Amino acid sequence: MSLFKKIVGKIMNQPEEDENQSLVKLGDSLKNADLDYKFAQLFTHSGGFFNYCADEAEALQTLNQILKIEEIRSVFCCDQDLKNFLDVVKVKYTENLELFNDAAFITCEYLIAFDGRIMLSHNNIKHFHSSRLPDKIIIMANVSQIVNNLNDAMGKIKRNGMVKNLTSISGNQNKLDAPGKSNAKLFLLLIED
């Protein structure tokens, strides 16, 4: 990469091509791997924190550890099933996104193995734009939500209908690369179906 491109990339807050190339190389090396393994590798390579959970009890323990380690006191959560988890670990939550929320605890539509990204919709984050979510995002998903690529996800969404405002996030590119969010953390609790 030329010096000029590096300087312009830093000014425009664009990731260096080396990072993108290493992700592409890793994806190519995993093209014959199982989808769940490929997703986990690419998700963690992009800076996400991957947690495999055999069942909901293990997911609850992992959630409790994350909340304690990250010192999370208030959570944005609009999913009734996830609220039950928060009730068990005794953490305050709001159904609407508030400035004082330390984290968001949400579900997702699909996990995309091709590049380790997580697809969200209005079902997961209401009408809020993903860039407004707190710096810490905890996502709960099932292994069955892993799809090979974006085309597979879009095909399933079209068949299911009623999904709008799609966006995706990944480990270090969470917040859609919003400046000033270098400390953002994305945690995934992946539960076996």
Q: For 113-167, what is each residue's pLDDT tens digit?
A: 999 999 999 989 998 888 899 999 999 999 999 999 999 999 998 888 777 888 8
CATH code for the domain in which residue 98 is found: 3.40.50.10420
Quote the number of domains for the chain: 1
Taking residues 35-64, what's their average pLDDT? 95
Rounded Cα distance, 75 and 45, in Å: 26
Give Cα 4 distance to the centre of its chain.
Answer: 33
Residue 6 lies in a domain: no
Q: Would the pTM count as exceeding 0.85? A: no
**pLDDT band at residue 190 under the 50/70/90 scheme:** very high
Residue 15 lies in a domain: no
Mean per-residue pLDDT of the chain: 84
| pLDDT, tens digit (0-9, with 9 covering 90-100), for 85-98 | 999 999 999 999 99
Would you state the structure tokens that stand for residue 150, as one six-digit string? 């974006």
Rounded Cα distance, 133 and 110, in Å: 18
Would you state the structure tokens that stand for residue 40, as one six-digit string? 């986990």
Residue 21 lies in a domain: no
